[in-house]
Amino acid sequence: MPEDRIPKPPNGQLDLLDQFKPSMTPPSSDSMALDLSNSQIENKTSEQYKSPKSILFIDTETTGLDPQRDFCIEVGAILFHVPSRNVLAQHSFLVPVDTNNAQPINRIPAEVSRVSQPLKRQ
């Protein structure tokens, strides 16, 4: 996709994909990349550098910040296509809870978390 056809984010919005613009010059051959599969740092050459085609964002909401007392109330995921900068798929679901002390922040009433949810693809 030509750079002039890539949508620009609104003023003041953080562009997390700025580093993946097609016109970006790949890093130099002496750049370092972290290989998480074996926790080793290895050199990557310009030919080995590839930007991801898609990114899976995962988000959670909780009933508070105390892991001994609070619980996860929502899990969400968005599959994002980097070259086109479009959402390919998104899904979220609520986990039933008795109370939600963080309702003023996440705006999820505990009662709504207990409503029956479809478990199959719609």
CATH number at residue 106: 3.30.420.10
- Residues 77 and 117 occupy one common structural domain: yes
43 and 11 belong to one structural domain: yes
Going by C-alpha positions, the residue among 46, 77, 50, 57 that lies closest to residue 16 is 57
107 backbone φψ class: left, alpha, beta (φ>0; ψ -120 to 50): left
Higher-confidence residue: 30 or 52?
52
Same domain, 121 and 62: yes
Question: For the segment 61-111, what is each residue's pLDDT rounded down to a tens digit?
Answer: 999 999 999 999 999 999 999 999 999 999 999 999 999 999 999 999 999
- Please give the tally of structural domains in the chain: 2
Percent of the chain with pLDDT over 70: 57
Q: What is the per-residue pLDDT for 34? A: 45
Domain housing 114: 52-122
Residues 88 and 119 in one domain: yes
For residues 19 and 36, membership in a common domain is answered with yes
45 and 71 assigned to the same domain? no
